[in-house]
Amino acid sequence: MSFWPSKRLIKALISFVSVAVLLIGNLLNPPLAPFVPEPETVEPYTGPTMTIAQNGESEYKIIRGQSCSPSEKYAAEILQDYLRQISGVTIPIFTDTEPASDKEIIVGRTNREDSGEYAIDRASLGEEGLTVMTLGERVIIAGGEKRGTLYGVFAFLEEALGCRWFTSTLIHIPQASQMKIPAELNFTQKPYFEYRETDWISPRDKLYSMANRQNGSVYRKLSEEQGGNMGYAGGFCHTFTTSIMPPSKYFDDHPEYYALGVLSGRRTPDQLCLTNPDVLRIVIEEVKELLEANPEARIVSLTQHDNFNYCVCKNCRKVDLYEGSQAGTMIRFVNAVADAIKDEYPDVAIDTFAYRYTRKPPAHVVPRPNVIVRLCSIECCFAHPLNDPGCIPNAVFNKDLTDWKKICNRLYIWDYTTNYSHLVGPFNNFAVLQKNVQYFAENNVKGIYEQGNHLAFDSNAEFAELKAYLLCRLLWNPYLDYDKTMNEFLKAYYGAGWQYVREYIDMTIKHSGNCGSYMYIYCPITSKAVFNLTDNQVEYCNELWSKAAELAENETQLRNIRMSELSWRYWKACNMKSEFSRLRHPEEWRGENEALYGDYQKYGITRCSELNYFSANPNFCLPPNCWR
């Protein structure tokens, strides 16, 4: 006769074990002291000021050049609009044919500058640098005629008047019946990188991207009046067999144009044979056609497909053995294309990857001056800085970057900032974002693409908008005040409980990438590299999120808090922590799983990873990393 315990006895046993575990845990790891946020002190500006508008009136005029560039004309209109939003006053715009006066806001290049009333070092500013200064009662906003003056207007609105473009929908515009600015403004800003791009959600918005100085063309196309883009002609990546030589056009008749794959052992349609002279001829023709159709473009991408099936035909293998890397055939090939277009298109560069099997630089061949090499950090750890010598994958990447910068005068970076296997889970890389961008700036990098959660529209359960904002600001100035920039965003986005969210970020930073493990962009959510927290620390984080929610001042802030907390709940559920613990009664933790899934539906979160959506009918007996 068998004995089967009653449900009541099972519940009692589970409760007893849960209490015992909690008591033991508290003895081994005493509860943390409660976090009490202290108000941040900001020193108010106490220097001399000048009044631009007050009580609905202004003596000022906005002056632009009569024959100014389209973006400078637009910059004057942007300035007029935001000054009106701040003060309620519409300051009129005139061209520089208007007689000069003491109270002018001069936007862009005008005859005031040409007559020698003041000097702007335009050669050093280039297309995107800017200068903002006061001269008597005048305000001068000058910059490169391509984008610099437009950026100068946004910089003036930020530095002098406190405007912020935190997200595409969260724009901070101070209201002041008496609009004053510092009387001794004088600053110059120049970009550290010629190419700046990230994705997420808000960077796709045109106004946001202009205000935060994103100039890439992948996620938004800016008109000439909006400053245009540092644009690619055709595709942005993996172009060889997509936009340049698609197999549907060539493979059936000419399989020899394609790689004798090292993995497949036969001709494969998703990589090219880079030593075939006909392939070179066709690619040159295709590149010239692309440039003719896209006269504004400055870069053409010639990049390998996203696999390891490179060509090992006799000729390709010979070159790569000599060069010590598959980058040998790649750089020789793109050099030949670059040579073929340089006279007809002197301002255009050919872009290629140093990615996976081409990441190691070649031993002999050197990229031409009009070749861009985009070094990709896909194998790296993002719990530690990329130049951390104690982090093995990052030390290897650092060597490759050091070797590439010795031979390449236009080195770009493709960097990664989220976990693509768990887009809705935490990827706490806030401690390294600034360090990594500074590392690039100090190592001759000319352009950066910070790839984030490009699918955040249907998987925004972490810190998509915060990361986007920080990355945009860092790409313009890697040496900004990082804590101040983050805290400004947190206050605006989460409200009065922002410091609890900041404490959660800071605390979990301390417990990421520990135990000799690395936080990769495809890291299992159960890895200690993601978080290595005790039960008490988990409960402490729960309390931080609870306090933040209590202090939300409106429904928008509460929604922002709840959405960001979803990544924390996902981690707990996958690791069976706290309310998702299997030491609780099954009905309880299954109920928590169901509630988590319900909140994903409530907030429009349908995707769990780069390749997978959440199941329409998940099994709530399984953790959420299995709901796909």
C-alpha span between 474 and 493 (Å, rounded): 19
* Cβ–Cβ under 8 Å, residues 57 and 89: yes
* Cβ–Cβ under 8 Å, residues 394 and 380: yes
Q: Which backbone phi and psi does 71 adopt, to 5 degrees?
A: -70, -30
* Cβ–Cβ under 8 Å, residues 310 and 321: no
Identity of the amino acid at 302:
L
Cβ-based neighbour number of residue 43 at 10 Å: 5
C-alpha span between 112 and 195 (Å, rounded): 32
Cβ-based neighbour number of residue 398 at 10 Å: 19
CATH architecture, range 49-189:
2-Layer Sandwich (3.30)
Instruction: Give domain limits for the chain.
Output: 49-189, 238-376, 498-626
Q: 3-state class of 22 per DSSP?
A: helix
Label residues 428-457 b or e (16+ Cβ within 10 Å = b).
bbbbbbbbbbbbbbebebbbbbbbbbbbbe
Q: Which backbone phi and psi does 151 adopt, to 5 degrees?
A: -65, -35
C-alpha span between 363 and 7 (Å, rounded): 70
Q: What is the pLDDT of residue 6?
A: 52
Q: What is the pLDDT of residue 516?
A: 72
DSSP letters along 467-500, please?
HHHHHHHHHH-TTS-HHHHHHHHHHHHHGGGHHH
Beta bridge partners of 260: 267
Q: What is the pLDDT of residue 3?
A: 39
Closest CA to 230 of 293, 287, 165, 147: 147
Q: What is the pLDDT of residue 114?
A: 86
C-alpha span between 162 and 198 (Å, rounded): 24
Which runs of E-coded beta strand occur in 297-452? 299-301, 349-354, 371-376, 411-416, 445-451
Q: What is the pLDDT of residue 514?
A: 74
| CA–CA distances in Å: residue 219 to residues 2, 72, 206, 209, 299 | 66, 23, 9, 10, 16
Q: Which backbone phi and psi does 626 adopt, to 5 degrees?
A: -105, 5
Kindly state the tokens that stand for 490.
């947190």
**pTM to 2 decimals?**
0.93
Identity of the amino acid at 340:
A
Kindly state the tokens that stand for 309.
């099936």
Q: What is the pLDDT of residue 513?
A: 81
- Strands in 371-376's sheet, in edge-to-edge order, are 195-198, 445-451, 411-416, 371-376, 349-354, 299-301, 232-233
C-alpha span between 511 and 228 (Å, rounded): 43
Q: For the chain, which ranges sit under pLDDT 70?
A: 1-45, 515
C-alpha span between 269 and 481 (Å, rounded): 49
Query: Angle at which helices 535-550 and 7-28 pack, to 10 degrees?
Result: 90
C-alpha span between 569 and 561 (Å, rounded): 12
Cβ-based neighbour number of residue 300 at 10 Å: 30
C-alpha span between 623 and 617 (Å, rounded): 13
Q: What is the pLDDT of residue 44?
A: 62
Kindly state the tokens that stand for 613.
């959506």
Q: What is the pLDDT of residue 2?
A: 41
Q: What is the pLDDT of residue 505?
A: 98
* Cβ–Cβ under 8 Å, residues 385 and 436: yes
* Cβ–Cβ under 8 Å, residues 381 and 519: yes
Q: What is the pLDDT of residue 86?
A: 98
Terminal Cα distance for the chain, rounded: 43
CA-CA-CA-CA torsion sign (365, 263, 395, 373): positive
Closest CA to 226 of 34, 69, 456, 451: 69
Helix (H) or strand (E) holding 132: strand 130-135
SS (H, E, C) 561-588: HHHHHHHHHHHHHHHCCHHHCCCCCHHH
